[in-house]
Amino acid sequence: MFFGISDYGAFVAAIVVFLAIPGPGNLALITSTSKGGVAGGLMATLGVIAGDQVLMWLAVAGVAAVLTTYPAAFVAIQWLGAVYLAWLGWKMLMAKPGDAPVLNIRPRQYFQQALAITLLNPKAIVFYMAFFPLFVDPQTHLGLISFAVMAATIAALTFLYGLGMTLLTHHLAERMRANPKVGQVLEKVAGIFLVGFGIKLAISK
């Protein structure tokens, strides 16, 4: 036991796997780094962490149960997130060479962008509500302390993952600047993925 968490090693391993799964957060991180360098990538990482922390503690507070009881609220937030992601993707697809980047290069806006993308995924609340009990032993659980350790672990792992992805993306971006067409193609691909994520969020049950 580690602060009331059963099989802490498995908990860490599961979080690492989930971080590596492609999704809007990863896409926002990569795009932010390619546009704003290491500073942009790190601010996006902090935005994802902040959003995750909000969703985790909402889950702990039982918001998932409220969303289940009032499905209309869940659907409304779900559609809001879907429209937001699709709108970002559409702007990327429609962008022309020389246009201002969809994600502004100022780190403050990268933080806000990643935070919004994370918060507008209501399914994450339900996910955390279902995920946390897998590693909680009712007999040894320490209440909020156990959840705080889980939240801190997720934040630390997300930061390390984000830092690694930022440095890797920045290294690749430096090489791609010699060929602007490659960057333009990647932006269109990113736009397609964002539109796809939005559609998936909208139609998923």
Please, what is the angle between helix 180-203 and helix 144-176, to 10°? Answer: 150
155's tokens? 């934040």
Q: Which residues pair with 5 in a beta bridge?
A: 2, 136
Name the most confidently modeled range: 52-56, 137-141, 186-190: 52-56
In degrees, rounded to 5, the angle at the alpha carbon of residue 29 between the alpha carbons of residues 42 and 169 is: 85
The Cα–Cα gap between 205 and 196 comes to: 16
83's tokens? 């429209």
pLDDT classification of 172: cutoffs 50, 70, 90:
confident
Higher pLDDT, 165 or 183: 165
Identify the sign of the CA torsion 56, 61, 65, 71. negative
pLDDT tens column, 76-120: 766 776 777 678 778 777 877 666 555 554 556 889 888 988 887
Please tell me the least confidently modeled range out of 18-32, 36-50, 92-106, 191-205. Answer: 92-106
